[in-house]
Amino acid sequence: MIQASVATLLPQAIDDLSQLCRIPSISFPGYDLENLDRSAEAVAKLCSEYGFPLVHVVRNPERHIGQGGSPAVIAAWGNNPDLPTILLYAHHDVQPEMLLSKWLSPPFEPALRAGRLFARGAADDKAGILVHLAAIKALRSVPGALCPNIRLILEGEEEVGSPGLAELLFTHRDFLQCDVAIVADLGNFATGEPALTASLRGMVAFEVEVRAIENTVHSGLWSGPIPDPAQGLCKIIASLTDAQGNIAIPGVLNSVIPPDQATLDSYRSLGITAASFRAEAGVRPGVQLLVEASEIPATLWRRPSLTVTTFEAGKRGAAGNVLLDSAYARISIRLVPGMDWKTVVKQVTNHIQTICLWGLELSITPDEGANAWTTSTTHSAFQIMLDALQAGYGKPARILGCGASIPGAPIFSEVFGDIPVLLTGLEDPQANAHGENESLDLEDFRKAICAEAEFLWRMAENKC
- Whole-angstrom distance, CA of residue 190 vs CA of residue 430: 9
Give me the architecture of the 2-200+372-462 domain, per CATH. Answer: 3-Layer(aba) Sandwich (3.40)
Is 160 in contact with 76 (CB distance < 8 Å)? Answer: no
- Whole-angstrom distance, CA of residue 357 vs CA of residue 352: 10
* Ranges in the chain, pLDDT < 70: 60-69, 464
Span 428-450, pLDDT tens digits: 989 999 999 999 999 999 999 99
Domains 2-200+372-462 and 202-256+303-366 share a fold: no
Distance separating the N- and C-terminal Cα atoms of the chain: 22
Angle at 162 between CA 124 and CA 170, to 5 degrees: 125
Burial class (CB in 10 A: 0-12, 13-18, 19+), 280: middle
pLDDT of residue 464: 60
Span 238-249, pLDDT tens digits: 999 999 999 999
Query: 100: how many CB neighbours lie within 10 A of its CB?
Result: 9
- Whole-angstrom distance, CA of residue 406 vs CA of residue 198: 12
List CB contacts of 205: < 8 A, sequence separation 6 or more: 309, 330, 331, 332, 333, 366, 367, 369
CATH number belonging to domain 202-256+303-366: 3.30.70.360
CA-CA distances (angstroms) from residue 79 to 24, 149, 150, 151, 152? 35, 6, 8, 10, 13
Q: How many residues does the chain have?
A: 464
Is 349 in contact with 373 (CB distance < 8 Å)? Answer: no
List CB contacts of 318: < 8 A, sequence separation 6 or more: none
- Outline where 177-271 has alpha helix (H): 219-222, 229-238, 261-268
Can you give the residue ranges of every domain in the chain? 2-200+372-462, 202-256+303-366
pLDDT of residue 293: 94
